[in-house]
């Protein structure tokens, strides 16, 4: 298997998995409930529920925690901004995603959701990730996007030893969050359109990172230390303000794809990059 084919499979499979995570959870062939009232009437053996674009009656919404068997829950466009009481009682929940609901905070009893594998918020009004996220010891994927507030990350992220996939998009970050460097097994990191002006060093801590996406930020330089992310295979820095890459990039022996479109790279410098990275596909 060639390196290029490997990276294509890697990125494609990650993207595919992210878009189809909901389908992965719950017993094979289990019913997907789309009506909260019907699900509450059944109560037992309700494993999957997609309430997208449903108007949720407050009295019914308050009873959501009765669905103790629930493993996958998707909310979208429900015009809600708070979690129901005792949301943490859904202790069997493996997947939770909310799209375009204006939540202002995480569940108060977040620490009870220790079985979560996948957690996503899109279009919320949350401005900080609580330190209690450290209790989600089985979390593998965390995605947070489309918030107008400056996002603050907790130092407790370092305790998430199973976390491999982090995406932060269309948010405001003051800088590349140093907390991400401390996540021990991070494999995929996407920070896009996050107003990042510079990236701090310590890339030696990214011992397992294979995919790094930093598109649509305000970067003018990348750190010399980037070569220390030895397993990096795919690097995208599209639509920044870079004039060149650090010379140490030539030491990334596993780098297979480098995407530099939308920067200020001259044709002469692209040729120089090709010489520095003879086994790498450079997209410009």
**pLDDT, tens digit, for every residue of 129-170?**
999 999 999 999 999 999 877 899 999 999 999 999 999 999
* Partner residues linked to 118 by β-bridges: 95, 141
The HSE-up count of residue 239 (CA atoms within 13 Å, CB side) is 10
Which two tokens mark 273? 């990059």
What's the pLDDT score for residue 1? 46
What is the pLDDT, as a whole number, of residue 178? 87
Measuring CA to CA, how many Å separate 91 from each of 83, 141, 238? 15, 18, 40
Query: 9 in helix, strand or coil?
Result: helix
Q: Which residues of the chain have pLDDT under 70?
A: 1-19, 174
How far apart are the two ends of the chain, measured CA to CA in Å? 25
Query: Which token pair is 58?
Result: 């407050």
- Give the count of beta carbons closer than 10 Å to the beta carbon of residue 250: 16
**Phi–psi pair at 60, nearest 5 degrees:** -75, -40
């Amino acid at each position: 298997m060639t390196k290029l084919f490997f990276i294509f499979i890697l990125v494609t499979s990650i993207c595919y998995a992210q878009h189809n995570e909901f389908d992965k959870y719950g017993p094979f062939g289990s019913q997907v409930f789309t009506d909260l009232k019907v699900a509450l009437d059944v109560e037992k053996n309700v494993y999957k529920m997609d309430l997208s674009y449903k108007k949720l009656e407050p009295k019914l919404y308050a009873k959501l925690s009765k669905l103790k068997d629930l493993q996958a829950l998707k909310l979208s466009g429900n015009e809600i901004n708070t979690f129901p009481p005792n949301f943490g009682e859904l202790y069997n929940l493996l997947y939770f995603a909310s799209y375009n609901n204006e939540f202002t905070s995480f569940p108060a009893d977040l620490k009870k959701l220790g079985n979560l594998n996948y957690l996503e918020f899109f279009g919320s009004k949350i401005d900080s990730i609580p330190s209690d996220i450290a209790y989600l010891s089985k979390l593998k994927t965390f995605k947070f996007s489309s918030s107008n507030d400056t996002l603050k990350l907790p130092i407790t992220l370092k305790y998430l030893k199973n976390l491999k996939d982090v995406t932060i998009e269309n948010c405001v970050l003051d800088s590349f969050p140093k907390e991400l460097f401390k996540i021990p097994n991070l494999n995929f990191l996407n920070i896009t359109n996050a107003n990042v002006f510079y990236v701090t060093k310590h890339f030696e801590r990214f011992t397992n990172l294979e995919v790094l996406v930093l598109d649509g930020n305000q970067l003018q330089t990348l750190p010399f230390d980037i070569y220390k992310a030895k397993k990096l295979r795919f690097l995208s820095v599209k639509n920044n303000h870079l004039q060149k890459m650090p010379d140490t990039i030539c030491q990334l022996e596993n780098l297979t794809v480098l995407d530099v479109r939308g920067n200020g790279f001259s044709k002469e410098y692209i040729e120089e990059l090709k010489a520095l990275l003879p086994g790498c596909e450079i997209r410009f």
